[in-house]
Amino acid sequence: MPKIIVLGAGIGGVPMAYELRERLGRKAEITVVSESEYFQFVPSNPWVAVGWRRPDEVKVHLPPVLAKLDISFRSGGARRVIPEKNELLLNSGETLPYDYLVVATGPKLAFDEIEGFGPQANSRSICHTDDAAAASDRWAEFCADPGPMVVGAVQGASCFGPAYEYALTAVTDLRKRKIRDRVPITFVTSEPYIGHLGLGGVGDTKSMLESILRDRDIKWITNAKIDRVTSEDVEATEVNDDGSVRKTHKLPSKFTMMIPAFRGVDCLRGEDGKWIPGLTNPRGFVTMDKHQRNPQFPNVFAVGVCTAIPPYEPTPVPVGVPKTGYMIESMVTATAHNIADLIAGREPSHQATWNAVCLADFGDSGVAFVALPQIPPRNQSWSSQGYWVHLAKVGFEKYFLRKVRKGSSEPGYERFVLKTLGVTRLRERAAE
């Protein structure tokens, strides 16, 4: 039987393993390799960071679930991918051979690229559930002695939605505590304008998010590069459209949370410490063709945040393209079909739609958008706001965690409902 390794157990890796098992039946050996035994529902991290969720409420213990599906599991993580030998070296020293490898690791958080930045220094993070839990402890201390806040996303970031979610959820929590008047908030972002999101906006997200920030008394600075973060302030440089310096800022901050830039994980480096030639781009993200397949190593696929997607457009300050949940799930479905094609002796023929359906919750309201596909030009683009988004996000959280616990990637009724709305995971063959 072919041996398939799924490297990573997050939003991409877990559905990848489930969908491979569903598509291939018992005709392949599937192994999941991860640093942790727990799946984390990362979209809930803004809630964790303000104490609205406990970490255990948004985690799933994977070994018993995977065992029911006859999927092997190795925790402890990988030390190195060795694609020229079709091997994965684990941190334990064991080597696992594979016929097909799916890289679904997510990114490494590049806190070290800015002085004083990151949860081990002077800012908080919501990119990992454990970091969000630590931010929650710090949040409780901050609310007992409030002051100015800085929230946003640094240069090179590609995940802007959670920054908006966290800033506005924090406002909702501060209002509930009746201390909002004691917390000036500045939203600092590398985006060229509010609501750009790394995508040139979706529908009317620019005016919509600007209006929401004004309504909640949040000031903002765009086209910003973060120079340094201290325990007392955030130093930023605001630039003009041509990249020249417009203004420097030294913003007082007793609580700082900013989304970092991402890069590839360390196991994608060779023994010399450099990125593996042909496998990744200079930032360490896995390169792929339209079938999610690496051009240099055709038995290696990639899904999720670890994939190499070029920026949508040039911007004064570098920003990346976000890889959102449904977009990742479409990558997963295309990859499962294409590996099945290869095992059956056929060439891969399936392409992900990269459609996006996103819910950004603000605690008392929210913004939803649909982008088909996520990256322009689009067949459809739509955004809306209201309290219904908060309810929908809560429902989606419970639904997705239930899917993980049950070992299901895309139940038939989910596929039917989304297809009725015109949202699909695979491109139609006639449209290729």
Out of 127, 143, 306, 358, which one is annotated catalytic?
358
Distance between CA atoms of residues 388 and 333, nearest Å: 29
Phi, psi of 371 (to 5 degrees): -130, 115
Out of 127, 143, 159, 267, which one is annotated catalytic?
159
**Angle at CA of residue 327, ends 264 and 368, nearest 5°:** 115
> Which residues are CB-contacts of 93 (< 8 A; sequence separation ≥ 6)?
none
With H, G, I as helix, E, B as strand and everything else as coil, classify residue 221.
strand
Distance between CA atoms of residues 256 and 203, nearest Å: 29
Query: Does residue 287 contact residue 280 with C-beta atoms inside 8 Å?
Result: yes
Amino acid at 319: V
Amino acid at 322: P
Is 306 assigned a catalytic role? no
Residue 4, classified by CB atoms within 10 Å of its CB into exposed (0-12), middle (13-18) or buried (19+), is buried
Using alpha carbons, select from 377, 372, 264 the residue that is nearest to residue 313.
377
Written as one string, the DSSP assignment of 278-314 is TTB-TTSPBP--TTSB-SSSTTEEE-GGGB----SS-
Is 358 assigned a catalytic role? yes
Catalytic (active-site) positions: 159, 358
